[in-house]
Amino acid sequence: MPDTRPRRIAHLDMDAFFASVELLSYPQLRGTPVVVGGAKAIVPDHGARFARLKEYSGRGVVTTSTYEARALGVFSGMGLMHSARLAPDAILLPARFDAYRDASRKFKAAVADIAPLIEDRGIDEIYIDLTDIPEATHPLIERIKTAVFAATGLTCSVGIAPNKLLAKICSDLNKPNGITVLTAADIPTRIWPLPASKINGIGKKTAERLQHLHISTIGELAQTPADLLIRRFGPHIGVWLHNAANGIDEHPVITWRAPKSISRETTFERDLHVRHDRAELSQQFTALCERLAQDLARKGYMGRSIGVKLRFADFRLLTREITCPQPICQAADLRRVASQCLKRIPFDTAAHQRIRLLGVRCGSLADGSHSAPSEEPDAARLPTSNTTTPQQGELAF
DNA sequence: TCTGGGGTCCTAGGACCC
DNA sequence: TCTGGGGTCCTAGGACCC
């Protein structure tokens, strides 16, 4: 017999996660605007004072901000130089990812003790399938929130609904430290008035395209005939938009999935010139390949497709990728294949001379946890040189 | 106001094979 | 010799998410 009970899915979202972790270390900053910035942010001196946003110089972005900073208009993803104009006296703290990962492990373990069916959605949020737990919703969620607080000292917001799509929307309706329970009957009154962009998967571009069709809210999207959406967005996205707006989502909570790719990238403190800064580019390129190899080794993976990513001074993005006959994981091999990718990049135009970001990626992953050194020479694992296209760029760092 | 780093999924064209 | 349809792999780019 198929199980026809409505599911009970929770989405748990930690409140201003990175900033809240920092406030545990600096409780004197509680109640003030605080911004957590990129790793290259200037470090607060260890004397009496903290760094202020207005003292920052560089290319970092806001990773998280406290609710007091958000009230001044400072949100995640915003350039720090920009946010300094909005909130010059806000405290700027450098991101400490090890501390956040530690807090993340703790809150997830605390939830898992109560409800083990968890889908990881990154460092600060999870879905939980509560369908098979007999306890009533409110006491169960209170118990989970109490356990999260006991394990971390941090609060979270939880949305509970019949599916992941609605649970995700809900967890945002009562922030911070809130609980929102939603049933299918609540959709017209509580979901339909919201902007379409509240649907996870409708970003800036799709929202703009919907706006051109005079669709602003989820309700307006729900009332749009499916065939119109299919004509405008294609069969896949069209059907998905129509279902999502009507609160339909059958995606199960996935407790584990194999990673598809592992990558490393870096934005330079200043744009590097393909020729004039070649030595530095080469050094950074090697370092990225070495870090990627370390990540692969630590996680026990090898990969067949190796790619590079470049962002130029004008912010345009370009990628190249090569698939090897056999998976590789050694830094020197990664560098060799990634170099071949670079040789296919046209560095001839002025716009392609100044590089802002360089990245190296490894995809088509295979288990590399017991990758004994190959009997074959390394060259056997790499694409043969006569399969590469004629060189476009004259250099490969 | 210039915009990090790590990911996922989708599309679309071409190669290649049956 | 020409034509076709389907399936899979590879590559590049784009939208989106945390």
**What's the CA A202/C1' B12 distance, rounded, in angstroms?**
21
Among candidate residues A350, A338, A195, A369, the one with its CA nearest the CA of residue A274 = A350
The whole-model pTM stands at 0.92
Among candidate residues A103, A107, A171, the one with its CA nearest the CA of residue A144 = A107
**What's the CA A306/C1' C8 distance, rounded, in angstroms?**
20
Q: What stretch(es) of chain A map to CATH 3.40.1170.60?
A: 20-96
State residue A351's pLDDT score.
Answer: 85
Question: From the alpha carbon of A358, which nucleotide's C1' atom is closest?
Answer: B5
H or E segment at A327? strand A317-328
**Contact flag, residue A109 CB and nucleic strand B, below 7 A:** no
**Contact flag, residue A234 CB and nucleic strand B, below 7 A:** yes
In strand B, the nucleotides that come within 7 Å of a protein beta carbon are 1-12
**Contact flag, residue A263 CB and nucleic strand B, below 7 A:** yes
What number of other Cβ atoms are within 10 A of residue A376's Cβ? Answer: 9
State residue A383's pLDDT score.
Answer: 73
Q: What are phi and psi of A105, to 5 degrees?
A: -60, -40
Is the pLDDT at A119 greater than 80, yes or no?
yes
**Could you say which residues 20-79 of protein chain A have a Cβ atom less than 7 A away from any atom in strand B?**
38-40, 58-61, 63, 76-79
In strand C, the nucleotides that come within 7 Å of a protein beta carbon are 9-18
Distance, CA of A61 to CA of A36 (rounded, Å):
9
Quote the mean pLDDT of chain A: 92
**What's the CA A170/C1' C16 distance, rounded, in angstroms?**
20
State residue A4's pLDDT score.
Answer: 83
List pLDDT tens digits, range A135-166.
999 999 999 999 999 999 999 999 999 999 99
**What's the CA A278/C1' B16 distance, rounded, in angstroms?**
39
List pLDDT tens digits, range A207-250.
999 999 999 999 999 999 999 999 999 889 999 999 999 999 99
**What's the CA A328/C1' C5 distance, rounded, in angstroms?**
36
Catalytic site residue from A68, A125, A250, A280:
A125
**What's the CA A320/C1' B17 distance, rounded, in angstroms?**
26
**Contact flag, residue A82 CB and nucleic strand B, below 7 A:** yes
CATH architecture of A20-96: 3-Layer(aba) Sandwich (3.40)
CATH assignment, A198-245: 1.10.150.20
% of chain A surpassing 70 pLDDT:
91
CATH assignment, A261-381: 3.30.1490.100
Is the pLDDT at A313 greater than 50, yes or no?
yes
Residue A390's pLDDT band (cuts 50, 70, 90): very low
- Residue bearing tokens 């006569």: A386
Q: Which residue is nearest to nucleotide B8 (CA to C1')?
A: A260
Q: Which residue is nearest to nucleotide B3 (CA to C1')?
A: A79
CATH architecture of A9-15+99-187: 2-Layer Sandwich (3.30)
- The helix, strand and coil proportions of chain A, stated in percent and rounded to the nearest 5, come to 40, 25, 40
Is the pLDDT at A386 greater than 50, yes or no?
no
Q: What are phi and psi of A182, to 5 degrees?
A: -135, 135
- Asked if A125 is an active-site residue, the reply is yes
Is the pLDDT at A388 greater than 50, yes or no?
no
The strand pair at A62-65 and A34-37 is best described as antiparallel
Q: What stretch(es) of chain A map to CATH 1.10.150.20?
A: 198-245
**Contact flag, residue A153 CB and nucleic strand B, below 7 A:** no
State residue A46's pLDDT score.
Answer: 54
State residue A1's pLDDT score.
Answer: 79
List pLDDT tens digits, range A340-379.
999 999 998 888 899 999 999 999 999 988 665 555 556 6
Residues A281, A356 contacting (CB under 8 angstroms): no
State residue A349's pLDDT score.
Answer: 86
Q: What stretch(es) of chain A map to CATH 3.30.70.270?
A: 9-15+99-187
Question: From the alpha carbon of A37, which nucleotide's C1' atom is closest?
Answer: B4
Residues A41, A52 contacting (CB under 8 angstroms): no
